[in-house]
Structures are given as C-alpha cells and as structure tokens.
Chains A and B, each alone.
Chain A
Amino acid sequence: MNDLAPATVNAARHAPAPPLAMLMELTHRCPLKCPYCSNPLAMDRARDEMSTETWKRVISEAAALGALQGHFSGGEPMVRDDLVELVRHAHREGLYTNLITSAVLLDKRRMDELAEAGLDHVQISFQGSETALADHIAGLRHAHVKKLAAARLVRGAGLALTVNAVMHRRNLHQLPAMLDLAVEAGAQRIEVAHVQYYGWALKNRAALIPTRAQLDEATRIVEVARQKLEGVLNIDYVVPDYYASRPKACMGGWARRFFNVTPSGKVLPCHAAETIGHLHFDTVQEKSLAEIWAHSEAFNVYRGTEWMPEPCKGCDRAEIDWGGCRCQALALTGDAAATDPACGLSPHHAMMKELAVAESAAGAEDFAYRMIS
C-alpha cells in the first residue's frame, strides 16, 4: 500500500531498516461484537492496560526509531479517556496520526478536541449499508446511525476520512450501497476488505466465507466503481486469500515495515502473531522498541528470506510476497514456517480452496460474537 521503493532488509544480523508504522492497540474493550474482530480470542482486560505515561514513552520511542505513521486502534480506542492526550503527543513527535474506530462514541466535543490535538485521519468501520444488517453484525443497536453521524463530524472538522467496509458472505450484496455510502459521507478512501480469516474470523469462517461467485461479482463491482469514481473516491481492495493463486505480502513482509503494541505492552510483528504459540514476544516494559525491532527473536525468526522453505526459497517472488502470511500457514498447515497455502505452489493450496468452496456452499448461519471471556 505504501508508495515506496522496496527497502532492502535482509537477515537478522544486519540492522533492519526503520519501521514505517506502529499500530497501537490501546485497549481490547469495545462496545461492538463483530464476529471477525482482529483481536485475539484471549483478550487483555482493562486492568492489564498500560498507563498514559507508558504509552507516551512508547510513542516517543517509535518516533525516534523512525516510525512515520501512528495508528490508534483497539478494541475501541475511544473508550480510553487519554486518547486526546496520546494523539497530541504523537502529533508533536511527528507521527502521522490515524484513528481506527467504530465511531459509536464520537461526538462533536471529542471530534473537536482530537482535531485540535493534531489528528490527521479517521477510519470508520461499517458493517453494512443499512441499519438492520449492520447492527446485527456489529451486535449493537443503533451503531449504524451513530457511525453515519460520526462520519459527518469527521468531514466537518476537515479531517481525511476512510470508510472501512469489511465484507463477507452476509453483506457482500450490499457492496454497491457501501460504495454509495462512502461517497455520500465525503470519504476520500474506502477499504473494501474481505475478511481475513484469523482469530475470531477463523472461528466463524463457515458463517462468513463468500462463495466464488460472490467474490467474482465483488471484484467486478470494484473495477467498475474505480473507473466511475476516479478522482472522487480511492478504492483499496483486499481479496480473500482462500480464492487467491498468490499469497499477499502480509504486513509487507514480516518485521519489515510494521509492528503492533498490544494493550498490555507486548510488541508483535502483526496483530495476529500471538496465534503462533511457540513465539516469545518482548514487552515495552522490559525493553526499548529499538532493541525489540532489531533483536527480538519473534521479529527476526521470519524476517527477510533466509528462514524460507521450498518452494519459497529461491522463488523469484520471494521478495514480492515474502512467503505470505505466517499465521495463516500455521492455522491451515500446522507449521508457521510453511509456505502460505494461498500460494498455488504450496502442497496445501488445493485443500485451502476446497475448504472455502465447501464451507461457503454449506451456508452455516450461526456465528459467535466477539466477547471477553
């Protein structure tokens, strides 16, 4: 997604290039219960969350390390009383500040405070194009109308707005209306993101995964809309791996551009990395971000290309897709160091596609809402 010449980042023994972005999961608390939440199944509780002062230190360390973008996320980051203070600190440290929110808690006063603190960009998730389905998926009544009102506040404050449209079997028929919603809301961008199946989404995959016909129709709709809306709305499109023939460059490559800090202070190469149970993750309480970025075992284990198995090793796409996604490799093959089965060269590729075809055809209805157990 970043318009950047590919940086050369090799094995652990070389100093890695600085990260581009830090995702701050300020909390796992959230008023919504979306069944595809990217948070882990075992979530941090409020009492585990880091203090304002610790987060400010983390933000300063990230800026000094070279991170350019700071994404405030969760859970729902707006449940934290200190969000404005943290945004102001990140802005002063030079980070480009982005709020990733459900927006159901955004009112005029907090919007004005966030804008004044230097917030640059707001991403609001939408679960559908109309109240009944959107509120059902979110597991919260009146969520959809609150989001529409919040989008107007963002534009009123002069901030950039991205609509995050998370798509799956239940709401794909609303994609054209979701695009209309983004235009009417005055968004500059929409992320049409098919659910990625980790954590909660993996648990609920049978109820969410689209059929091949649905996916093809969505891709056609996006292509037409891109032409029609050029200069009005930028459309980022994330396709589901299960029907792909090449893997995505997950996170732009493990530990190449991005890191994630959890509510309790663990530093992860991606937000799903804790599913790889044998990895140990350092915390910001124990070590500096600079030390973790350069030396953490969890960052170096899949960084670069030296860890790669056949057929990744020596593949001319090794530095394009970086072997795909480690969490997906583990979830579907049992081995986090295997080639991502989204790749047509993986021995598990056919199994992955068959799973998607069979589950989407079976049409399971029930899903489990995200909740802290």
Chain B
Amino acid sequence: MHEPHKDYLGDKFGMWLFLFTEILLFGGLFLLYAIYLHRYPAEFHQGGLELSRLFGAANTVVLITSSFTVALAISALQQGRRGLCQGLLAATIVLAGVFMVNKYFEWSAKIAHGIYPGSPELAQSGGTNIYFGLYYLMTGAHGLHVVIGAAVLAFCMLRIGQGRVTAEDFGLLENGGLYWHLVDLVWIFLFPLFYLIS
C-alpha cells in the first residue's frame, strides 16, 4: 500500500502563507487607520483619552500570557506530556474567554455612553466618528480572530485526545499555536494605536 503523504515543512510553509494573508487583511484596516490619523490627529488624541487604559493593559497581559501558555503546550506535547499539554491549552482557551469578557464590558460601557456606530454623540464630529468607527471595526475583527483561534486550539485539544496529534506528529498544534501568536501580535499593535495614542 502506498504511504500517505506527510510533509511537515510543507504544512508549516502553507500556514505561514496563510498568516501572511491575515496580516494583509488587517493591513487594509491599518492603512485606513494611518490615513485617518494623519487627517484627524486631534480627534484621535481625544478619542484615545476616552478609552480605558486599565482595561486595555489588562487585556494585553492576558493575551501575552496566553501566547506563553500555548508555547508551553507545544513543548509539553513534544516531550510526550499529553495531560500537561491539554491543561495548558485549556488555560489558553480560558484566557481567551477572559479577554472576550473584558472586551464585552469595555464595549458595553462605551455603548452605554452613547458611543457606537451611527450614534448621535458621534455624529457631531467626523474625526471622532472615524476614530471610534475604526476602534469598533478593528477590535471587532480582532475579537472574531480570538474566537476563531480559541476554536482552533479546542480542535487541537480534541485531536490530541484522540491520539491523532502526538509527540511525533505535532504539526497541527504548532500551526494552531502560530495562528494564536498572530492573534496576539495584531493586538500588540492595536493596543498602542488606540489606547496609548494620546
């Protein structure tokens, strides 16, 4: 019988290409941000003051920690410590949940203050409207990626549980980890651009 094809490097190569497309997808949004920052520097400064740096910083710490736990999970699997690996992945998914809950409270607070797309409050100033429009759009797109990333890691957990991803064949988990690091990386840029701009 012909051996099924297995190409570890090829799988990695494909994943990096995919990550590149994700960067370009966000790239379009970052481009809009750059142009509008150039056009409305004062409004972006004002807008940055409205955001809670505490919430933003907390979420940054949460995400960086989750990247760390993913990296540990991959090492654990490579050493054959399956239970530890799954525990670390579960921790990562919990941290993703913490991030999203944080985000939920942050967004609700803003919406309660009348700051949401199309609100009368934002209609008063074009620049402020654009700043918060981009804020919702980019953090929303990022939040969606957090959810997808958590789902990918949950899928990795399932495959490890089934014995399909093992100490010898860990490509899937590594690629899932790469995706998670990308999610983290995008946030590393979003945080200063929105919260620390003032």
Task: Judge: A and B partners, yes or no.
Answer: no
Chain A interfacial positions (CB closer than 8 Å to B): none
